[in-house]
Chain A
Amino acid sequence: MDFLLQAMFVGIIKGSIYVIIALSMVIIYKSSEVFNFAVGEFCTLGAIMFFFAARTGLPLPLVFLLFVILCGLAGMIIEKIVIQPLMGRDPLSTTLVTIGLSSFLVGLFQITIGSTPISLEIKLPVLMLEIGDLFLTSEQVWSVIFAISAIALLLLFYQFSRWGIIMRATAEGQVKAMVFGINTRYILTLTWVIATIVAAMGGLVVAWSGTLTYNMGIIGLVAIPVVLVAGLDSIGGCIIGGILIGIVESLTSFYFEDATGLKGFRSVTPYLFLLIVLMIRPTGLFGQVRIERV
């Protein structure tokens, strides 16, 4: 059992990355009922943008700012060209378009950065953590700090800022929002911009603790069970669901794989977990409780 603590922490770290990616999906789903299958490519996009921003040789805070601006711009362009022409149609058509968008982006990334893995280096102070049996590398500690602050910033924005409130209002009903003078078209663009930035931050953490490759967007697939376990439209559920799946995955790799010799079984566990959850609770663990007055 001496691995348990270590396994839990590794799971939480992994899970927090899933949370970021899943949140990006949930924001879009809430506002337009579109399931963004290109979320993994948005992650890659973020990592690539950071790679280019870091090349400018600016100090780290400025690189970071540049990274956020570039990702926001990319999100805006994608929304204007790909999503907006489909506005007012069935959300399913837009969902299918995101699958196409995803393959297009993979191709585009391969042209831009080639097929060789790139390692992102970010010069940050070393923060190693060693308490008893628990040992976390500096990268792991930083990615937790990064993930938590990204999630916290998003939640603060979404729950308390004026634009967050307007985004949530628009998510409830576009016509309703429109007659109160809310420019819903603008708000939808804003939603995609923010979702892109959020996914990009997730991608940055992934690329940083591993390598940057053109097809690392595969990680986006894990966000799907997280979102579904959470119940599609619950932000709180996303956080718990993501961390749960991270822990399940890491426990499997620490205990189950060694004991049975089934190497790589951990990549199946998120889906297995999803299957079990959906069998017990078809609406997901935290699907938004519909308000019904009696």
Chain B
Amino acid sequence: MLEVKNLTVVYNGVISVLHGVSLEAREGAITALLGGNGSGKTTLMRAISGILTIYEGEIQEGNIELAKIKLNHLKAVDITKKLHLTYLMEGRPVFEYLSIRENLIASASCRWDSAVPKDIERVLAFFPPLKNRMQSKAGYLSGGEQQMLAMGMALMTNPRFLLLDEPSLGLAPIMVKEIFKVISRINRERKIDILLSEQNAMVALRISSYAYVMENGRVVMDGSSIELIENADIQEAYLGSKDAGKKDYKEAKRYKRRKRWLG
């Protein structure tokens, strides 16, 4: 179980990005993290995975715990290697000049053992389109294929916990569907817990069991995914309900007000 308690993060010593974020990602589940641009999703993931310092960020208050082990000051390499938490950055972080096979080999470097060749086959079983193009450079793949490869690379690190940062970013709707199918399969078949950040709220809520909504560095709402799909505010702000056009400004303001109470 991943627990974030009252986390405050500051960039460059002055720019405050997260103001006391708390959340929990339960074992065996997919937890969704919704929110628009600049709401702090990526910062939260950077903090968890230990690469915040590279971006001149700093955890000022609060705790991050994975299975009761405090992650606050651990190095990114150790978090991946020893605690088996892998962060898949947004924007398809593949090594463009390496072939698919080389990408998978490079990302398995932290746990090099005799099982790697077998594991490559196991990972490829999740992503059949990659199989025929093992020798082509990752930079020449389509966006969907790159996202698949990136997820395959994350699997090669042998994770028990995965942080996925906007896996649907810049992909065609049909590809998004495909990717999310695989995400829930990975969760079920490989027993990997997942924390998933998304702007595409509908797809994320469909495969997750619990969800948090972030805005301006705060968690403004949380609940089981089924609850949130039904929630009027969520429908209005993220899902675009059918009669959204008819609402007037007064009603839109209700959501803003509510947010302040919750935050």
A176→B93 CA distance, assembly (Å):
6
A276→B88 CA distance, assembly (Å):
46
Q: Contacting chain A: which of B26-34, B100-108, B125-133, B233-241?
A: B100-108
| Residue A59 at the chain B interface, CB threshold 8 Å | no
| Complex interface residues of chain A between 170 and 192 (CB less than 8 A to chain B) | 172-173, 175-184
**A169:B106 contact, CB within 8 angstroms:** yes
Q: Contacting chain A: which of B109-117, B216-224, B252-260?
A: B109-117
| Residue B7 at the chain A interface, CB threshold 8 Å | no
**B110:A182 contact, CB within 8 angstroms:** yes
A169→B154 CA distance, assembly (Å):
14
Which of chain A's residues have a CB closer than 8 A to the CB of B87?
A: 179
Q: Contacting chain A: which of B61-69, B74-82, B204-212?
A: B74-82
Smallest CB separation, A2 vs chain B (Å) = 46
Smallest CB separation, A124 vs chain B (Å) = 37
Instruction: Produce 1/0 per residue, B35-57, CB < 8 A to A.
Output: 00000000000000101001000
A181 to B, closest residue via Cβ:
B110
**Total number of A residues with any Cβ neighbor in B under 8 Å:** 20
Contact of B51 among A165, A175, A182, A183 (CB under 8 A): A175
Smallest CB separation, A235 vs chain B (Å) = 12
Which of chain B's residues have a CB closer than 8 A to the CB of A263?
A: none
Most chain A Cβ neighbours within 10 Å, of B51, B95, B142: B95
Contact of B153 among A165, A166, A175, A180 (CB under 8 A): A180
Q: Chain B interface mostly helix, strand, loop or mixed?
A: helix
Which of chain B's residues have a CB closer than 8 A to the CB of A175?
A: 51, 54, 89
A184→B80 CA distance, assembly (Å):
13
Which of chain B's residues have a CB closer than 8 A to the CB of A169?
A: 95, 98, 102-103, 106-107
A292 to B, closest residue via Cβ:
B139
| Complex interface residues of chain B between 122 and 164 (CB less than 8 A to chain A) | 137, 139-140, 142-143, 153-154, 156-157
**B140:A181 contact, CB within 8 angstroms:** no
**A291:B137 contact, CB within 8 angstroms:** yes
| Residue B197 at the chain A interface, CB threshold 8 Å | no
A83→B30 CA distance, assembly (Å):
43
A280→B139 CA distance, assembly (Å):
28
| Contact A168 to B110, CB < 8 A, known contacts A175-B51, A179-B49 | no
Taking A179-B49, A181-B109, A293-B143 as known contacts, 18 extra A-B pairs with beta carbons closer than 8 A to each other, sorted by chain A number, are: A169-B107, A173-B95, A175-B54, A176-B93, A176-B95, A177-B106, A178-B76, A179-B89, A179-B93, A180-B109, A180-B110, A180-B154, A180-B156, A181-B80, A182-B106, A184-B77, A291-B139, A291-B140
19 A-B contacts (beta carbon < 8 Å)? A162-B105, A165-B105, A166-B106, A168-B95, A169-B98, A175-B89, A176-B93, A178-B77, A179-B86, A179-B87, A179-B93, A180-B110, A180-B153, A180-B154, A181-B77, A181-B107, A183-B110, A291-B96, A293-B139
B: which residues have CB within 8 A of A? 49, 51, 54, 76-77, 80-81, 86-89, 93, 95-98, 102-103, 105-107, 109-112, 137, 139-140, 142-143, 153-154, 156-157
Nearest 3 Cβ contacts at the A-B interface: A181-B110, A291-B139, A181-B80
A: which residues have CB within 8 A of B? 162, 165-166, 168-169, 172-173, 175-184, 288, 291, 293
